[in-house]
């Protein structure tokens, strides 16, 4: 099977890495890919969010399977377009991808399915630009001391404000509804009751009928140690998660995932692909914070390296609507530390030369997944010779396997210490508490 992986981040590098090692896979092609993916197979340019362009490329390379990494192409209908050419595509079609494309739609599905989730309201201005703001601000005042304001549409993981400062929450409502903060994505806002408790990411493989959970992971969303500062796309992750008993996964599958899949089916949007459940373990039990319609990034970078069975076979089976091969897991734990550019998440500085990649990769158990990098003198042309430079906010994911979380963590940080560029930043407390390091802050 020849597999075309759509995307250019650390998640896609981790998927390509496992696919290249899958017995069912002969060749991996990245599009557009990145310098890490280019070490595994050819990388071809493509406008990833253009369904017709991706379907044309799949035809050109005779892809046996197209794996779509990021949410934007999924929401745009890339899977629909590839399937229309008679090819297998892993990921939900546009109708089901609305789960991530619109938080208001997602909350409506959760409500209909009776899934435990935060109380919420949805607000938008009318065509004269009025009405929504006053109602939204009134609703905000009915919330307890923790205010949660979200853009309805996609905002690269940055459209969520969680704050105890009522003024900040009101300011977010105004900036979102006016279109100033996130353009059209924010013109509808979702306001939620603030929940608290540890968070868990559960990735679930779905074939439209059956659903199989992958190993749970925990992500660190805030930029700074001890969960300080703004939300990011994710600054690190680890798996397994010791605080999660197996019955929690069963409970989430029974009370959240199953009714959600049933509701989607009833709405004519059956779900195939990976469903990412963002869960908060509240004192009242697990509640769904959100669904995403793709592998988490960086959760994928710790979950997939722990998979011992054939990833290519699992993804092809899910895409074809019949999961059959049992999943097998390694005993090892995994930790990934995200190395980010100065100024991330607000305004990342790019173009700096990265040193130490080889030394980092030589640390036992370590793989360095590329995210925001370019190589050579021709930025945007993965695979050209020469130095590797920074090209985004989240630049590298230093991932380590180890016999225990503590060993994986020590290896990941030893490798991270080999790498540098001007302004590089990373959290020092990833997996610290879970690995038993008393000096580390709590997990987000
Ligand atoms: P989301 O993109 O909806 O997962 O939100 C991003 C992050 O914001 C989550 O991982 C949580 O840390 C936080 N968050 C989202 N919704 C809530 C909520 N209702 N209460 C408390 N924190 C939340
Ligand atoms: N790590 C969070 C996400 O992928 O949305």
For the CA of 295, the closest atom of ligand 2 is 4
- Answer yes or no: is the C-beta of 234 below 6 A from any ligand 2 atom: yes
Residue 17: C-alpha distances to residues 22, 156, 175 (Å): 9, 24, 40
- Write down the residue that tokens 């092809």 correspond to: 316
pTM of the predicted model as reported, rounded to 2 decimal places: 0.94
Please give the pLDDT value at position 385. Answer: 54
Indicate whether 59 and 19 sit together in one domain.
yes
- Answer yes or no: is the C-beta of 199 below 6 A from any ligand 2 atom: no
Indicate whether 176 and 225 sit together in one domain.
no
CATH number of the domain residue 324 falls in:
3.30.470.20
Residue 108: which of 291, 364, 276, 320 has the closest Cα? 291
For the CA of 278, the closest atom of ligand 1 is 4
Mutation to probe ligand 1, out of 278, 281, 299 (largest number of atoms < 8 A from CB) = 278
Indicate whether 180 and 215 sit together in one domain.
no
Indicate whether 15 and 71 sit together in one domain.
yes
Indicate whether 64 and 207 sit together in one domain.
no
Instruction: Measure the CA–CA gap between 368 and 338, rounded to whole angstroms.
Output: 10
What is the extent of the structural domain holding 271? 199-416
- Answer yes or no: is the C-beta of 160 below 6 A from any ligand 1 atom: yes
CA of 157 to the centre of ligand 1 (A): 10
Residue 145 located in a structural domain:
yes
145-184 as b/e, with b when 16 or more CB fall inside 10 Å? eebbbbbbbbbebbbbbbbeeeeebbebbebbbeeebbee
Contacts of 397 (CB under 8 A, 6+ apart): 10, 13, 14, 298, 301, 336, 337, 338, 339, 368, 369, 370, 371
For the CA of 194, the closest atom of ligand 1 is 20
Residue 365 located in a structural domain:
yes
For the CA of 196, the closest atom of ligand 1 is 21
Indicate whether 147 and 232 sit together in one domain.
no
Going by alpha carbons, the residue nearest to atom 4 of ligand 2 is 296
Instruction: Measure the CA–CA gap between 203 and 217, rounded to whole angstroms.
Output: 8
Ligand with minimal distance to 291 CA: 1
CA of 256 to the centre of ligand 2 (A): 19
Please give the pLDDT value at position 396. Answer: 98
Most distant CA pair in the chain, distance: 61
Structural domain tally of the chain? 3
For the CA of 296, the closest atom of ligand 2 is 4
Residue 267 located in a structural domain:
yes
CA of 91 to the centre of ligand 2 (A): 16
- Answer yes or no: is the C-beta of 297 below 6 A from any ligand 2 atom: yes
233-264 as b/e, with b when 16 or more CB fall inside 10 Å? bbbbbbbbbeebeeebbeebbebbbebbbebb
Q: Provide the pairing of β-strand 188-193 with 147-151.
A: antiparallel
Residue 194 located in a structural domain:
no
Q: Which of 68, 93, 118 is the last residue of a domain?
A: 93
Indicate whether 326 and 349 sit together in one domain.
yes
Q: Which of 187, 214, 236 is the last residue of a domain?
A: 187
Residue 433 located in a structural domain:
no
Indicate whether 135 and 75 sit together in one domain.
no
CATH number of the domain residue 70 falls in:
3.40.50.20
Going by alpha carbons, the residue nearest to atom 1 of ligand 1 is 290
Ligand with minimal distance to 196 CA: 1
- Answer yes or no: is the C-beta of 148 below 6 A from any ligand 1 atom: yes
Please give the pLDDT value at position 407. Answer: 98
CA of 199 to the centre of ligand 2 (A): 12
Going by alpha carbons, the residue nearest to atom 18 of ligand 1 is 194
Q: Residue 19 is encoded by which pair of tokens?
A: 């696919």
- Write down the residue that tokens 């500085």 correspond to: 349
Residue 216 located in a structural domain:
yes
Q: What is the pLDDT along the chain (444 residues), one digit of tens a residue?
A: 999 999 999 999 999 999 999 999 999 999 999 999 999 999 999 999 999 999 999 999 999 999 999 999 999 999 999 999 999 999 999 999 999 999 999 999 999 999 999 999 999 987 776 778 889 999 999 988 899 999 999 998 788 999 999 999 999 999 999 999 999 999 999 999 999 999 999 999 999 989 999 999 999 999 999 999 988 999 999 999 998 888 999 999 999 999 999 999 999 999 999 999 999 999 999 999 999 999 999 999 999 999 999 999 999 999 999 999 999 999 999 999 999 999 999 999 999 999 999 999 999 999 999 999 999 755 455 544 579 999 999 999 999 999 999 999 999 999 999 999 999 999 999 999 999 975 564 444
Please give the pLDDT value at position 438. Answer: 59
Residue 252 located in a structural domain:
yes
Indicate whether 208 and 173 sit together in one domain.
no
Instruction: Measure the CA–CA gap between 314 and 293, rounded to whole angstroms.
Output: 17
Q: Which of 71, 93, 115 is the last residue of a domain?
A: 93
Give yes or no for a contact between 395 and 376, defined as CB atoms under 8 angstroms apart.
Answer: no
Contacts of 128 (CB under 8 A, 6+ apart): none
Indicate whether 137 and 276 sit together in one domain.
no
CATH number of the domain residue 135 falls in:
3.30.1490
Residue 410 located in a structural domain:
yes
Ligand with minimal distance to 199 CA: 1
Indicate whether 261 and 359 sit together in one domain.
yes
Please give the pLDDT value at position 442. Answer: 47
CA of 93 to the centre of ligand 2 (A): 20
Residue 191: which of 233, 146, 223 has the closest Cα? 146
Indicate whether 60 and 143 sit together in one domain.
no
3-state secondary structure of 124: strand
Going by alpha carbons, the residue nearest to atom 3 of ligand 2 is 296
Q: What is the CA radius of gyration of the chain?
A: 21
- Answer yes or no: is the C-beta of 199 below 6 A from any ligand 1 atom: yes
């Amino acid at each position: 099977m020849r597999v075309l992986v759509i995307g250019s981040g650390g998640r896609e590098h981790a998927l390509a890495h496992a696919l290249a090692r899958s017995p069912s896979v002969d060749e991996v092609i990245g599009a557009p890919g990145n310098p890490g993916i280019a070490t595994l197979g050819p990388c071809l340019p493509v406008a990833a969010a253009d369904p017709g362009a991706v379907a044309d490329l799949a035809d050109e390379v005779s892809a046996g399977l197209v794996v779509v990494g990021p949410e934007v192409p999924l929401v745009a209908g890339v899977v629909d377009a590839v399937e229309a050419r008679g090819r297998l595509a892993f990921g939900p079609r546009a109708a089901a991808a609305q789960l991530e494309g619109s938080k208001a739609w997602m909350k409506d599905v959760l409500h209909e399915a009776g899934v435990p989730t935060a109380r919420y309201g949805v607000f938008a201005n009318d065509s004269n630009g009025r009405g929504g703001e006053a109602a939204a601000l009134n609703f905000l005042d009915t919330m307890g001391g923790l205010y949660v304001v979200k853009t309805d549409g996609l905002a690269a993981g940055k459209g969520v404000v969680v704050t105890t400062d009522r003024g900040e929450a009101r300011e977010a409502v105004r900036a979102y509804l006016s279109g100033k903060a996130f353009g059209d994505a924010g013109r509808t806002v979702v306001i939620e009751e603030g929940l608290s408790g540890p968070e868990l990411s559960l990735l679930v493989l779905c074939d439209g009928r059956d659903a199989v959970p992958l190993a749970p992971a925990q992500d660190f969303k805030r930029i700074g140690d001890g969960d300080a500062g703004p939300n990011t796309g994710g600054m690190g992750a680890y798996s397994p998660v010791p605080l999660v008993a197996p019955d929690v996964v069963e409970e989430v599958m029974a009370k959240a995932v199953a009714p959600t899949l049933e509701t989607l089916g009833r709405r004519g949007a059956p779900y195939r692909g990976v469903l990412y459940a963002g869960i908060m373990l509240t004192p009242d039990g697990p509640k769904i914070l959100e669904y995403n319609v793709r592998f988490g990034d960086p959760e994928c970078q710790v979950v997939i390296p722990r998979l011992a069975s054939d990833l290519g076979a699992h993804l092809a089976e899910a895409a074809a609507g019949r999961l059959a091969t049992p999943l097998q897991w390694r005993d090892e734990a995994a930790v990934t530390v995200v190395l980010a550019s100065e100024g991330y998440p607000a305004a990342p500085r790019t173009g700096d030369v990265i040193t130490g990649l080889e030394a980092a990769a030589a640390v036992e158990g370590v793989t360095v997944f590329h995210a925001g990098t370019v190589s050579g003198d021709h930025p945007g042309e993965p695979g050209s010779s020469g130095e590797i430079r920074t090209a985004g906010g989240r630049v590298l994911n230093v991932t380590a396997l180890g016999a225990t979380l503590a060993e994986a963590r020590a290896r990941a940080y030893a490798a991270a210490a080999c790498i540098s560029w001007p302004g590089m930043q990373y959290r020092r407390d990833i997996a610290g508490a879970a690995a038993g390091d008393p000096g580390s802050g709590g997990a987000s």
